[in-house]
Structure 1
Amino acid sequence: MTEDRDERQRHLPAGRKAQLAAYVADAGQVTVGELAERFGVSIDTVRRDLDQLSAEGVLVRTYGGAVSLATVSRTDRAVDQRLTFQEREKEKIATLAAGLVQDGSTIMINGGTTTLALARNLRQHRDLTVATNNLLVPGALPATAVRDIYIFGGAVRSLTLATVGPVSFRANTGAELDVSCDLALIGVGAVDADAGYTTSNLAEAAMMQEMLSRATRVAILADSSKFGRRLFAQVSELGVADYLVTDRMPAPEMRDALEANEVELVVPANPPRPREAKG
């Protein structure tokens, strides 16, 4: 009797989605085809279910399937794997963040796949000076957008293809040159009302902190799956940022915290507007 009831429930949308969510949570990572076969529905139906569950923050949508939130949070994944996570969300964020960049300005971009998407979305810009620790960014930047590109030296984390070390350049004499930028665009691993912006690696957190300290304006880039979470190393408190660029509105508690810290929330329904940096 129980098996018959479970079988019928699989074909009820609410029941199927609940079982689908539970299955993804247990498996960790699944494909659309696997879910369609298991639950006896079409691939299009599974895609719609996954899209809805992703929008509700239950799982993380990937190209061709989904992964559980637990899998994402406990695993520091390589760049090639993270490129498939939240692709549409990252593209929305990249488009919005590009709107904050002014022609002729100097920007800093940190490691990560969201900032990599941003680099590709600067095709309409001109005369930019870009400094980055992301080894993939120079190849992604449109040639027509850039005046100069600089890579911060240091040790390379093979997992993320980003350098970690001091944010500095040296003159021929060996003296350290003071560097600064108009806008730092920083991708983070998690955003929390109390913990602020955090990431999983201590050395990367230190690199991000240095970029923030050298920026006139700061834009934090994070998709909505990262809300309400905290990772090992704090990058900064909420109020350090001028903007939080994301794919959809966060929960009321987060919105209230951002407003209290004078952080402008930039989402598709609320594109960026020019403003002065925090003084």
Structure 2
Amino acid sequence: MGEQQSLLAEQRRAVIADEVRRRGGVRVNELTRRLGVSDMTVRRDLDVLARQGVLEKVHGGAVPPADASAHEPGFEAKSGLEPDAKESIAREAAALVSPGTAIALSGGTTTYALAKRLTGVADLTVVTNSVRVADVFHAAQPGAERQAAVVLTGGVRTPSDSLVGPVADQAIRSLHVDVLFIGVHGIAPEAGLSTPNLAEAETNRCLVRSARRVVVVADHTKWGTVGLSSFATLDQVDTLVTDDGLDEQARAEVAERLRQLVVAGPQG
């Protein structure tokens, strides 16, 4: 019986490792359904695989090892990480948007959550390099007078469903927006804003230059994380909207460098 249980455990862990490599991350609740085991069993398997260096545990799931600074998780994998924090951040960020303005939304799961809260804001012009964000506005059917005008850049699609590269860069360089809401892979005092995708870094630089005001939307797990390529310094950021998981030391560092810090509390 012990040998059979061990074999089953190895089979489970092989499946988990394959899912992490193939999809860029997995959620615990997905694994419990797929493998037909308890939450505790899945978490024990993740502990073993983390000790072996196969993956890194994160809140609610696992991603490939953090030392792969060039690794870019897919949209579905990232969407399962810190979902409550993203919704709280989206709520606070939406309050910064005024009717009749031109805004830009970068790719990412937090900006996607924000887009869903902006479909009722009147007379918006939305510039985005995110296929997912554009779909949110196109799928919304408010009154014609409230429908946002969406400008979707061209470009090459990344694992996170952003459009990047020379085509996207050229389109963005010709535009000017009131506010940019940008998601990040990582934000750190020295490295600033960063991403594991080199082409996305250049497109993000174009987005930052296009905006009169730059608002970063990032949950607390992004603080201290550094991707392969930096695309903006903290001096270029006006506002960080994050969640209340950000510790006091990090808040103090942000307050020293940014004009405004908005901390979103739990959703009521």
TM-score, shorter chain, exceeding 0.5: yes
Give the corresponding residue for 2:28: 31
Counterpart-to-counterpart distance in 2, 1:30 and 1:240? 34
Give the counterpart of 1:67 among 58, 62, 68.
62
SS across alignment from 1:246 = strand
CA contact (8 A) 2:119 2:148 kept: no
- Asked if 1:190 is matched to 2:191, the reply is no
SS across alignment from 1:265 = strand
CA contact (8 A) 1:112 1:160 kept: yes
Q: Partner letter of residue 67 of structure 1?
A: A
Q: List aligned pairs for 1:4-15, cutoff 5 A.
A: none
Q: Percent identity?
A: 28
Query: How well do the aligned residues superpose, as a CA RMSD in angstroms?
Result: 3.1
Comparing 74-83 with 231-240, which one deviates more in the overlay? 74-83
State the 1:59 CA deviation.
4.8
- Which structure 1 segments of 5+ residues have no match? 1-22, 40-57, 170-175, 271-279
Q: Which has the bigger relative contact order, CA under 8 A and spacing at least 6?
A: 2
- Asked if 1:154 is matched to 2:155, the reply is yes
CA contact (8 A) 2:119 2:147 kept: no
Task: Go from structure 1 to structure 2 and tell me whether the alpha carbon gap of 1:134 and 1:68 turns closer, same or farther (over 3 Å shift).
Answer: closer
Give the counterpart of 1:91 among 84, 87, 90.
87
Q: List aligned pairs for 1:43-192, cutoff 5 A.
A: 59-62=57-60, 66-67=61-62, 70=65, 75-141=71-137, 142-144=140-142, 145-157=146-158, 159-164=159-164, 165=166, 166-169=168-171, 178-192=174-188
Give the counterpart of 1:254 among 235, 250, 257.
250
State the 1:101 CA deviation.
1.0
Q: In the TM superposition, what whole-angstrom CA distance separates every residue of 1:223-253 from its partner, at most 9, and x where no partner exists? A: 1111111111102111211110111253344
Q: Partner letter of residue 161 of structure 1?
A: D
Give the corresponding residue for 1:231: 227
Counterpart-to-counterpart distance in 2, 1:177 and 1:265? 28
> Higher helix fraction: Structure 1 or Structure 2?
2
Q: Partner letter of residue 153 of structure 1?
A: G
SS across alignment from 2:243 = coil
State the 1:99 CA deviation.
1.0
Segments of 4+ moved more than 6 angstroms = none
- Which structure 2 segments of 5+ residues have no match? 1-12, 21-25, 43-55
Task: Go from structure 1 to structure 2 and tell me whether the alpha carbon gap of 1:216 and 1:30 turns closer, same or farther (over 3 Å shift).
Answer: closer
- Asked if 1:218 is matched to 2:214, the reply is yes
Task: Go from structure 1 to structure 2 and tell me whether the alpha carbon gap of 1:189 and 1:177 turns closer, same or farther (over 3 Å shift).
Answer: closer
Give the corresponding residue for 1:277: none
State the 1:177 CA deviation.
8.0
Comparing 243-252 with 182-191, which one deviates more in the overlay? 243-252
SS across alignment from 2:264 = coil
SS across alignment from 1:183 = strand
Q: Partner letter of residue 192 of structure 2?
A: G
Give the corresponding residue for 1:5: none
Counterpart-to-counterpart distance in 1, 2:119 and 2:149? 15
Higher alpha-carbon Rg: 1
Q: TM-score, normalised by structure 2?
A: 0.71
State the 1:35 CA deviation.
5.3
Q: Partner letter of residue 198 of structure 2?
A: L
CA contact (8 A) 1:193 1:253 kept: no
